[in-house]
């Protein structure tokens, strides 16, 4: 595997390649990221992974400076997983001048849920993904479904800009107890790690109760959030939405079997975790 730090090196390495598969990451890799690389490998062509901690998607009070940077270890894991090229640009390389041109996703999707609690987050995501796509020129890009809303936003951007990229979503990879793998899980203390499973369990209960259809969703969602609060969490949201657009389903849609998803975000101590479950 080659590790490249400049756009010129990347373009030289990819010259003449017509079917590149791409996995964008912020590093501090785990088995969930490596599953994306394995899927990219299965799609054929050279596999490119990027490691870049994107300042544009962090709010001023968030953990940009503290976000783990483990490039040497990441490179070893990627090589073992079958990655061909690692693109690890510096901030100055990817943003050689202030990024005044940005991609603004539609508020109807990007201002919900994560966008409500992290204003501007999806503008930062879309801008860096657009830029990385321009750098790598992939035929296929593989993302994890743990970041459910992000995957929807990226797919919408690719569709509306008619970008020749097949965006593949891979199911969430989980630990043996069911916790979704995340780079931020490393922030959890030992006791918090045992508590963390309460978030996916809450989403599972919410899904079961929502499909039952006997109580209003607002009541179910409030009760789910209150259960986490009593256990020391600070929930941002636990909610049931339509998979198609992340808007709340009507009672008739619930009864008719509309494809739904529960989504949750909550802080446990200083760590913010997100998860989702389709049903």
Distances (CA, A) of 21 to 17, 142, 181: 10, 8, 22
Strands 260-268 and 47-51: unpaired
Respond yes or no: is residue 5 known to be catalytic: no
- Candidates 28, 33, 38, 92; catalytic one: 33
Instruction: Name the residues annotated as catalytic.
Output: 33
């Amino acid at each position: 595997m080659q590790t490249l730090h400049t756009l010129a090196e990347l373009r030289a390495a990819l010259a003449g390649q017509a079917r590149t598969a791409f996995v964008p990451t912020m590093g501090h890799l785990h088995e969930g990221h490596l599953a994306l690389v394995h899927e990219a490998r299965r799609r054929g062509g050279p596999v490119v992974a990027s490691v870049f901690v994107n300042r544009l998607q962090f709010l001023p009070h968030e953990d940009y400076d503290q976000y783990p940077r483990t490039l040497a270890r990441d490179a070893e894991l990627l090589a073992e997983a079958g990655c061909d090229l690692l693109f690890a640009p510096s901030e100055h390389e990817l943003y050689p001048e202030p990024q005044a041109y940005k991609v603004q996703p539609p508020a109807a999707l990007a201002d919900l849920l994560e966008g409500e609690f992290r204003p501007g987050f999806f503008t930062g995501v879309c801008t860096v993904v657009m830029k990385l796509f321009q750098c790598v020129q992939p035929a296929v890009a593989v993302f994890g479904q743990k970041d459910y809303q992000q995957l929807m936003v990226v797919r919408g951007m690719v569709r509306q800009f008619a970008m020749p990229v097949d965006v593949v979503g891979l199911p969430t990879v989980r630990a043996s107890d069911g916790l979704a793998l995340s780079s931020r899980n490393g922030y959890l203390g030992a006791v918090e790690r045992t508590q963390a499973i309460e978030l996916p369990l809450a989403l599972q209960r919410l899904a079961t109760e929502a499909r039952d259809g006997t109580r209003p969703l607002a009541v179910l969602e409030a009760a789910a959030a209150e259960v986490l609060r009593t256990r020391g969490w600070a929930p941002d949201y636990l909610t049931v939405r339509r998979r198609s657009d992340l808007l709340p389903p009507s009672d008739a849609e619930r009864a008719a079997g509309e494809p739904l998803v529960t989504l949750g975000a909550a802080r446990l101590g200083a760590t913010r975790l997100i998860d989702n479950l389709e049903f």
